[in-house]
Amino acid sequence: MGTRLITQRRGKGGPKYKVPSYRFFGAIKYPQTRTKLIGEIIDLINCRGHTAPLVLIRFEDNQFGLIPASLGARKGQKVEAGEGATPDKGNILKLKDMPTGTQIFNIEKEPFDGGKLVRSSGAAASIVAKTKSTVTIKMPSKKTINLNPECRATIGVIAGGGRPEKPLYKAGNNYKKRRARGKVYPKVAGVAMNACDHPFGGTHRRTKGRPSTTRRSTPPGRKVGLIAAKKTGRGK
């Protein structure tokens, strides 16, 4: 009888694969406002669950905002948010109010969702085009996406750049680093496993032994490989 696949175990959950909530200081969020607000950075936070330092901002209406720190942020710095805010580094504006070419981070995918994109240390996206209905953003991966002009973002570059440049030296360090955020390390190829552990395992050679495409309705113990693939092979 075969054992559970790692995809099944991760899907079920459990202490090994859950991200420990105590490592996170709080949820990243912007203040809920449509008018201009002025706030002050009251603390810089080293959160173990995030790759970048965070800033805690208290606004004049006693709302609090928690966002990744922009490069050069300091305690006591004034931050503007909402309609009419100045397009300066560290301020929170709607995409439609920012000039083309502005570097931004912590971008909302939908208006007032608090910020979902570009939140890792040293990262920044840029505005490359604007129309009445969309704003085109160039992501750090060089991919471009179109967003609602009402979405908000923070101007600047996230602090903590250069973090990946420090070598890990040994696999144990990488294991602990990824384990802290609920990631699996090391990743073992299915063809390298035993037959009881994976549908692609059980041979002394790196061949799958069966088609790697799988139906959407396949049961969980066999649902591996290219699931419901529309096409396979190298694109022309």
- Three-class secondary structure assignment of the chain: CCCCCHHHHHHHCCCCCCCCHHHCCCCCECCCCCCCEEEEEEEEECCCCCCCCEEEEEECCCCEEEEECECCCCCCCEEEECCCCCCCCCCEEEHHHCCCCCEEECECCCCCCCCCECCCCCCCEEEEEECCCCEEEECCCCCEEEECCCCEEEECCECCCCHHHCCCCCHHHHHHHHHCCCCCCCCCCHHHCCCCCCCCCCCCCCCCCCCCEECCCCCCCCCCCEECCCCCCCCC
- Asked which of 130, 163, 196 is the last residue of a domain, the reply is 163
Within a domain: 177: no
Q: Are 135 and 145 in contact (CB under 8 A)?
A: no
- State whether 28 and 8 are in the same domain: no
Range in 53-57, 69-73, 230-234 with the lowest mean pLDDT: 230-234
pLDDT(141) > 60: yes
Within a domain: 223: yes
In the chain, how many domains are there?
Answer: 2
Q: What is the pLDDT of residues 19-41, one digit of tens each?
A: 788 888 999 999 988 888 999 99
Bond preceding residue 186 cis, omega within 30 of 0: yes
Within a domain: 170: no
Residue 227: per-residue pLDDT: 93
- State whether 218 and 145 are in the same domain: no
Q: Are 225 and 213 in contact (CB under 8 A)?
A: yes
pLDDT(180) > 80: no
Within a domain: 34: yes
- Asked which of 163, 192, 213 is the last residue of a domain, the reply is 163
Per the structure, the complete domain to which residue 85 belongs is given by 21-163
Single pTM value for the model: 0.80
Mean pLDDT of 117-134: 95
Within a domain: 171: no
- Asked which of 129, 163, 197 is the last residue of a domain, the reply is 163
pLDDT band at 9 (very low <50, low <70, confident <90, very high): confident
Within a domain: 173: no
Q: What is the pLDDT of residues 186-226, one digit of tens each?
A: 999 999 999 999 999 998 899 998 899 999 999 988 899 99
- State whether 116 and 33 are in the same domain: yes
The number of beta carbons lying within 10 Å of the beta carbon of residue 154 is 29
pLDDT(1) > 60: no
- State whether 97 and 12 are in the same domain: no
For 161, the token pair is: 């750049």
pLDDT band at 234 (very low <50, low <70, confident <90, very high): confident
Within a domain: 32: yes
- State whether 28 and 115 are in the same domain: yes
